[in-house]
């Protein structure tokens, strides 16, 4: 177990950063409440979301083996976050096989999710990409956030959603809410 002295809880407002790209790493993080985007600004100015951390999930896992963070961690809503000190966590991983196995399983699951995301991002058609991403459960927050997660402008994403609804491939269930039609 990680001792309480190696855990540091912080609260953040919407828009605040837990860390910025190139900040020195201090640990990995667990989201108690709220949502954090791991994102990187491209040279074009377009921001790409690489991961969205939600309540009960970890983020910045790769920082255990890096001196600096490789992206920004920005709160997309108010959030409560626990930082697990890097040095203590890596020491525990080396000493506690059960913790190492659980952490390895978590990372393996994340690799599967990232591969799925890469497959979705490789779909050229905005309409097809949007349909696949909705069917995989990626649309769980605002449409603008969803668009960022799947590498589309929010305008292209809204157009694709409208086209999919018009074609009967999606049903709009509320503002910014979409679902696949029931297979009957």
pLDDT over threshold 80, residue 184: no
d(CA 61, CA 104): 11
Dihedral (CA of 155, 156, 162, 166) sign: positive
Fold for 4-117, please state it. Answer: Jelly Rolls (2.60.120)
Q: How confident is the model at residue 140 (pLDDT cuts 50, 70, 90)?
A: confident
**Positions of CATH 2.60.120.10 in the chain:** 4-117
Supply the pTM of this predicted model.
0.71
What tokens does 170 get? Answer: 């999606």
Q: How confident is the model at residue 46 (pLDDT cuts 50, 70, 90)?
A: confident
d(CA 31, CA 82): 6
Kindly state the average pLDDT of the residues 35-64. Answer: 89
Cβ(5)–Cβ(62) under 8 Å?
no
Out of 1.10.10.10, 3.40.605.10, 3.30.365.10, 1.20.140.10, select the CATH number for domain 123-179. 1.10.10.10
**Positions of CATH 1.10.10.10 in the chain:** 123-179
> What does the mean pLDDT of the chain come to?
93
């Amino acid at each position: 177990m990680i001792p309480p002295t190696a855990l540091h809880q912080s609260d953040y407002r919407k828009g605040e950063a837990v860390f910025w790209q190139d900040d020195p790493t201090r640990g990995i993080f667990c989201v108690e409440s709220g949502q954090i985007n791991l994102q990187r600004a491209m040279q074009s100015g377009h921001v790409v979301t690489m991961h969205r951390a939600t309540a009960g999930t970890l983020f910045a896992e790769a920082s255990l083996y890096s001196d600096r963070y490789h992206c920004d961690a920005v709160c997309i809503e108010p959030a409560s976050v626990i930082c697990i000190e890097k040095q203590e966590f890596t020491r525990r991983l080396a000493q506690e096989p059960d913790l190492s196995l659980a952490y390895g399983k978590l990372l393996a699951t994340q690799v599967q999710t990232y591969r799925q995301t890469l497959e979705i991002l490789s779909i050229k058609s905005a309409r097809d990409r949007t349909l696949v991403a909705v069917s995989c459960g990626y649309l769980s927050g605002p449409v603008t956030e969803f668009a960022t997660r799947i590498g589309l402008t929010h305008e292209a994403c809204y157009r694709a959603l409208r086209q999919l609804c018009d074609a009967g491939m999606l049903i709009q269930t509320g503002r910014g809410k979409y679902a696949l039609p029931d297979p009957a």
